[in-house]
Amino acid sequence: MNLPIETGLQSTISTAATDITADAKKRYSAGVLKYRQMGYWQPDYVPTDTDTICLFRITPQEGVDPVEAAAAVAGESSTATWTVVWTDRLTACDSYRAKAYKVEAVPGRPGEYFAWVAYDLILFEEGSISNMTASLIGNVFSFKPLKAARLEDIRIPVAYVKTFQGPPTGLVVERERLDKFGRPLLGATTKPKLGLSGRNYGRVVYEGLKGGLDFMKDDENINSQPFMHWRDRFLYVMDAVNKASAATGEVKGSYLNITAGTMEAMYERAEFAKELGSVIVMVDLVIGWTAIQSMAVWCRKNDMLMHMHRAGHGTYTRQKNHGVSFRVIAKWLRLAGCDHLHTGTAVGKLEGDPLTVQGYYNVCRDSYTKQDLPRGLFFDQDWADLKKVMPVASGGIHAGQMHQLIDLFGDDVVLQFGGGTIGHPAGIQAGAVANRVALECMVKARNEGRDIKNEGPQILQDAAKFCTPLKQALETWKDVSFNYASTDSSDYTAQPSVA
């Protein structure tokens, strides 16, 4: 796979093979060798179907050869250390070494390089995201010869994918349990997310669900604080869910955040949610990979949906030159086992350009993800029939953007309007009605063959003539948007506007 590069940039990279592994005396003599001499640079290597392939974006320090930097990344993320160690010879070291096999300059980004590194299947523990990440993003991101490093994308072999459980329920079965088809699902985050008593919190949940939403949710930092103990919240929320379900005749839910300080406390909260009849629980990304996988196993055993709030992801994903791309985080989370995943809105208040965000959605919903450079997808990825994840669009969206959201993301998505529901001038239930009517009229127009991307505003105005809450919503938020330049767009295409 040869990616486009700018003329003249590639010619400055010396990619000749320089390893000396064939000469054991030289290779294992005490002292310090270059990583490319130790076998971590193999330009003629052809990755196998069972290799994990990583694409790193690296920024070497001044004077550091980019190929040597790539070889160092391969070495430090697999078997190498700073000096020769003879104990390598007690292992099948040729297999255990990661192999950097290609380096190319990043177009339009002087000093940055893409480095492809292949890892043998045997290097990773089966079914363990914690083990995989300990290698791929462990010490190497603090390596001094690099100014910055970012894991841009990853190809996980089918042989390794099959060792993971994946989502406990999956997108298809979720729709069957909810008995809701042919449209996006609607949700809202309870606001304010901190400070409400349990009783008032439950009132917000009831109003939102009664007005037409499918889900309400806890936010990332509502756990068990002095103003509202978790048990009180669960009781009042589930009372609201049951009353709203009875009033509307629809299956309803509310994401109960079971994030806690210990696994024991999380299991206790999950069990109580199950006893109360909840169909879904929620965890935050910050609980860590082992806890995420543990809760996914519990959810599968107990027929529970697991919603993943990606709280904290921006510390890894926000900067273009350092960290871990969210497309990689999304792949790991699908393997680890979440049913819902916050994946961005493109039109809301949080980071993400339209094409890049669509790439995240592809990772969640595809059976086989194809390489798509404009969407930031560098590799084909066979998901081996692993269940699909329901993406969640949440953060600064409102009814006036319904046409953009459906055009961008289609039906298999949860559209969450927190402030866009609870901030409605006529109240929470009216806000929910506005969003449900906006959704239904837009889906109807699309199914009739209308161009909702361009006709969307007029479609909403026509519907608002017969729906006062929608009219009020459109008047309140009008064309409010958050149009800022994305910090993480594709290197291979100009980014379109969503307006």
Q: Which residue has the tokens 């993406």?
A: 391
| Contacts with 444 (C-beta within 8 Å, 6 or more apart), sequence order | none
Instruction: Work out the number of other CB atoms within 10 angstroms of the CB of residue 349.
Output: 14
**φ/ψ (deg, to 5) at 320:** -70, -30
Residue 182, Cβ neighbours under 10 Å: how many? 8
Cβ density class 461-488: b for 16+ within 10 Å, e for less: eebbeebebbbbbbebbeeebeeeebeb
Structure tokens at 237: 């929320």
Q: How far is CA 154 from the centre of its chain?
A: 13
Which residue is catalytic, options 309, 331, 340, 387? 309
Choose, from 34, 180, 191, 243, the residue flagged as catalytic: 191
Q: Examine the residue annotation and report whether 191 is marked as an active-site residue of this protein.
A: yes
HEC string for 323-378: EECHHHHHHHHHHHCCCEEECCCCCCCCCCCHHHHHHHHHHHHCCEECCEHHHCEC
Q: So which residues are the catalytic ones?
A: 191, 309
